[in-house]
Amino acid sequence: MTSKTPSRAGGASLILFDAEGRARKSQAHALRVQLADGRSLTVDLSQADDGVVALLAEHTDTRQQAGLLVRPDNHDAVAVAVTATPLRTTTGTPATPPELELDVQYGDGVRGRRGVPARGKLQTWIRSALFADAQLTVRFVNEDEGRALNRGYRGKDYATNVLTFAYAEHEDDPVTADIVLCCPVVEREAREQRKPLEAHYAHLVVHGALHAQGYEHEDDGEAEEMEAIETETLLALGFDDPYRERVGR
């Protein structure tokens, strides 16, 4: 049998039916139907004197947004379903950030190097680009190590700004990856592009986090999608559009 709020004078008359069809009459201003998984539907009768009944969907899980799905059954009846979807930010990531297990490593000669972002910043940047819980390692390396990794795993004999080694083989596998940033290359690119070093690190960390989740830029469509997410994420973090042309380049 559904529950009801305490009676108040002047409320609408409610008739409640139990599973066997027995009726009980009461006075109330609202009625809440609480579902087992945290969803609920409140019938607001505060405007019942005007013939208005309002429906309010809620969820006890603050990470879930409740909604109403209304389907007409016939001319004088409708069926109402309470839906639940994860809350999202403007970039599409969950409003409540996923769990992040982060390991930060430093190669030879890079610990304490100017501009290398602190762990707290890395966590903020990565979480802003996560769509699911993740276990990530971020490693900062010198040019020799960066070149060796790029040559050994990609067959390209030069150091590149960021490498992502993603280990999930299937869509449902946990997000696990190593993100390697080559400090001398990142610093050189920031100077050439005339952008703050921190902004360039933030962009590459977000870029690597998206690769860790399966995003690619092999064709134009994939590249456009990935760049759009990166741009929205960086703007939300307070940085400029990383793909905007800069005067003087």
pLDDT at 124 > cutoff 60: yes
pLDDT of 189 reads 98
Q: In this structure, what are the phi and psi dihedrals at residue 227, rounded to the nearest 5 degrees?
A: -65, -35
Q: Residue 152: is it exposed, middle or buried by C-beta count within 10 angstroms (0-12/13-18/19+)?
A: exposed
pLDDT of 8 reads 42
Q: Could you tell me if 109 and 227 lie in one domain?
A: yes
* Residue 94 covered by a domain: no
pLDDT of 246 reads 52
pLDDT of 5 reads 41
pLDDT of 222 reads 92
- pTM listed for this prediction: 0.65
217 appears as a binding residue in the annotation: yes
Mean pLDDT of 105-130: 96
Mean pLDDT of 86-111: 82
* Residue 6 covered by a domain: no
pLDDT of 86 reads 59
29 appears as a binding residue in the annotation: no
CATH code at 151? 3.40.390.30
Distances (CA, A) of 222 to 6, 82, 159, 210, 214: 56, 35, 24, 12, 11
* Residue 186 covered by a domain: yes
Mean pLDDT of 232-244: 95
Q: Could you tell me if 114 and 224 lie in one domain?
A: yes
pLDDT of 89 reads 62
Q: Are 65 and 87 in contact (CB under 8 A)?
A: yes
Chain segment 1-36, per-residue pLDDT in tens: 444 444 344 557 777 777 776 777 777 778 888 887
The number of domains in the chain is: 2
Q: End of a domain among 56, 86, 116?
A: 86
pLDDT band at residue 230 using 50, 70 and 90 as cut-offs: very high
pLDDT of 10 reads 53
- Containing H/E element for 226? helix 220-236
Note down the domain range covering 36.
15-86
Tokens of 106: 């430093």
Q: Could you tell me if 77 and 107 lie in one domain?
A: no
Torsion, CA 137, CA 142, CA 144, CA 150, rounded to 10 = 40
Chain segment 137-190, per-residue pLDDT in tens: 999 999 999 999 999 999 999 999 999 999 998 888 899 999 999 999 999 999
- Containing H/E element for 144? helix 143-154
**14 alpha-carbon distance from chain centroid:** 42
Q: Could you tell me if 132 and 188 lie in one domain?
A: yes
Rounded Cα distance, 156 and 181, in Å:
16
Q: In this structure, what are the phi and psi dihedrals at residue 58, rounded to the nearest 5 degrees?
A: -140, 165
Rounded Cα distance, 131 and 29, in Å:
41
* Residue 171 covered by a domain: yes
211 appears as a binding residue in the annotation: yes
